[in-house]
Structure 1
Amino acid sequence: MGRRRGIMSEPFKEELAKELGFYQTVQREGWGGITSKDAGNMVKRAVEIAQSQLKQN
């Protein structure tokens, strides 16, 4: 199976990582260096942002 194309843009993921406090890990080790908990928190935050934007429209 090939690599899936990401839905979130790289700048958006970096912004979330900064907000959630693990951007330094991403800089040092790449996205593979973050914990599954951090990845889950990043997805959760992205969903919260999307829901907030939908409510505004």
Structure 2
Amino acid sequence: MARRRGMMSDHLKEEIAKELGFYDTVQSEGWGGIKSRDAGNMVKRAIEMAEANMQQKGRS
């Protein structure tokens, strides 16, 4: 079975993890080491960023 590709780039995930304060966990334990709450907050932040980007493009 083919592995699914993620929706977010690794760079974006790392930037959000830094912003939310759990990038040190990612570095030491990998993405599997973060709490589910942190993963949820990361997704929520990515959605907020995408919505803001869409609004900016709509104004242009």
Task: Give the C-alpha shift of residue 2 in structure 1.
Answer: 4.6
For residue 4 of structure 1, what is the aligned residue in structure 2?
4
For residue 23 of structure 1, what is the aligned residue in structure 2?
23
Aligned-residue CA RMSD (Å) = 1.0
> Which sections of structure 2, spanning at least 5 residues, go unmatched?
none
Letter aligned with residue 34 of structure 1? I
Deviations 1:6-51 (A, max 9, x none): 0100010000000000000000000000000000000000000000
> Which sections of structure 1, spanning at least 5 residues, go unmatched?
none
**Which ranges of 4 or more aligned residues in structure 1 deviate by more than 6 Å?**
none
- The number of residue pairs the alignment matches comes to 57
Task: Give the C-alpha shift of residue 3 in structure 1.
Answer: 3.2
**Secondary structure of 2:40 counterpart:** helix
Structure number, greater radius of gyration: 2
**What is the TM-score normalised by the length of structure 1?**
0.94
